Structure 1
Amino acid sequence: MNMTFSCAYPLIQTLSMPMGVQAEGGLISEELPAGQGTYQIRMIPYHDAQFTSPYDGQVQVEVNQQMYVAVDVEGVDRNQIATVLDNCWATPVNDSDYHIRWNLIMRECQNPDDGTVEVLQNGNGTTSYFSFRMFTFSGISDRIFLHCQVHLCLVQNGRCALSCDPGYRRRRRRSLDFYHSAANHHGSLRKLSNPDK
């Protein structure tokens, strides 16, 4: 017997984390739109480019030190779903809609105005990776708060990982390419004071 069916999912859903950085990263649990299960999104800051040493406790980073971030989704079929970072940005306060912000990732690619951002993996599995150099918002705060808008992509469509080559014009995906979207907000990263520098 063959059955044909279709599913409709909301394109955007915003989630907030009202807490600071935890040792193992921020964790958000979300029910799948069809009500058939849950998945978890974690944003985890790391010391190293190999993503083997996560920060333990409060994250304190020197200005211009490279910061490594993983965004991981658990509770989905890794053979069918890929995690895609749509947009990531920093604000000086724990408010993703705050009017002062700096874009790190825009439309799945690094901000062309910030040469320190590297999108290391995006749409090639259930974990996406990026890095940037630590900065502060001058005169406002010695902390930054990270926020990422993430969507889950059906691997079978074959369009989860797109090129970010300079001059590449990104096509807007049709809504059928989206499995589900959510925004993950991470706690603060604090600038280290170093009187020797």
Structure 2
Amino acid sequence: MAAVCVLVLLLPLAWSCTPQKADYVMVSCFPNTIIANIPECPYGWEMEQLSLGGVCYNGIHTPGFYRFIIPDLTPKNSSYCNTQAEYSAGKDPKYTFSNAIVSNDTLLTVRNQPLNFTFSCSYRAVHLLHSAIFSQRVATVYVNNGSVGTFRSQLSMNVFSNSKYLYTKDAPFFIETSEIGSEVFIGIEAKGLSNRFKVVISNCWATPTPYSTDRKRWSLIINSCSSDNTVTIFDNAKDSRSTFKFNSFRFQRLEKVSTVWLHCEVHICDSERLACQPSPCLARSLTQSESIDGVLSAEFYLKGM
């Protein structure tokens, strides 16, 4: 008789929530954070019985959902709550972070369907927009188990006042014809990303038209190296911002052209998984590599022509 009484006491604890049978995950992929929401009480499981990565019981109850948060994509010792990171090479390389929300019943008998809500977020390693500045977008996606959410970070190319790189100049950037040959300071920065990611400038070149594929071009940076002594690279692949300078110029025999477009091919590199720092330039050949359209562009106007 005593055993029956114990069983009666346990049943309300196992079924205190209203079971939901919806099998999906809402994944929000932020630059530094991943948030996964599942319907509350999935198949009768309580929040305290669900764990992130099988180790972290850190769920938060929000109206209609159980929320699990990965707050840091740069763990100091190991991946946060068994978050897995993977780099996929190829034409469109990506970094993918994945995890799962799983059930864990400590009772002697399991009365609910076992759960394994897998989810992941993909981060592009090469940016594919022809724009000086593009805004950050956070993607919230409704997915079935195992699907992927994606996001874009905020990446910008700006002209700075001097080599201290403290103050940006307003766009578009004007150069007086009498000042041709003066120094132009460029900074390319990724905002909102974890500090494990470094900005790597691969190639920079100038064209007399907005098109980065224009055959009339002047190379400034080739394979992360200065093309000549008029270009100086200060920082590259060391932080979330890479900087360089070059001497301003205009294209010869194109007197009617008063605008120069600067294009840079930029990569985002995961320093915890890859060697981001380019090898010394003296040991490498300065041969222009084929562009993969990971390009930022900016305009420079020549006044007085």
Normalising TM by the smaller chain, what interval? Answer: 0.7 to 0.9
- Residue 249 of structure 2 is aligned to residue 135 of structure 1: yes
Give the structure-1-normalised TM-score: 0.76
Query: What is the aligned residue count?
Result: 171
User: Cα RMSD (Å) of the superposition?
Assistant: 2.7
Residue 14 (structure 1) shift: 2.8
Per the alignment, residue 169 of structure 1 pairs with 284
Q: Per-residue displacement from partner, 1:80-100 (whole Å, max 9, x unpaired)?
A: 100000111110111101110
Per the alignment, residue 302 of structure 2 pairs with 191
Q: 2:264 aligns with which of 143, 148, 151?
A: 148
Q: Which runs of 5+ in 2 are unaligned?
A: 1-53, 55-81, 94-125, 139-147, 286-292
Q: 1:126 aligns with which of 231, 240, 248?
A: 240
Separation of aligned partners in 2, 1:160 and 1:52: 25
The one-letter amino acid of 2:133's match is L
Higher helix share: 2
After superposition, the Cα gap between the structure-2 partners of 1:169 and 1:53, relative to the gap in structure 1 and judged at 3 Å, is: same
After superposition, the Cα gap between the structure-2 partners of 1:142 and 1:76, relative to the gap in structure 1 and judged at 3 Å, is: same
Query: Which structure has the bigger radius of gyration?
Result: 2
After superposition, the Cα gap between the structure-2 partners of 1:31 and 1:87, relative to the gap in structure 1 and judged at 3 Å, is: farther
Separation of aligned partners in 2, 1:68 and 1:3: 39
Q: Which runs of 5+ in 1 are unaligned?
A: 18-25, 171-180
Separation of aligned partners in 2, 1:126 and 1:136: 30
Q: What percentage of aligned pairs have identical amino acids?
A: 24
Higher relative contact order (CA 8 A, sep 6+): 1
- Residue 181 of structure 2 is aligned to residue 64 of structure 1: yes
Per the alignment, residue 107 of structure 1 pairs with 223
Separation of aligned partners in 2, 1:30 and 1:70: 18
Separation of aligned partners in 2, 1:5 and 1:165: 31
Separation of aligned partners in 1, 2:236 and 2:284: 17
After superposition, the Cα gap between the structure-2 partners of 1:116 and 1:39, relative to the gap in structure 1 and judged at 3 Å, is: same
Give the structure-2-normalised TM-score: 0.50
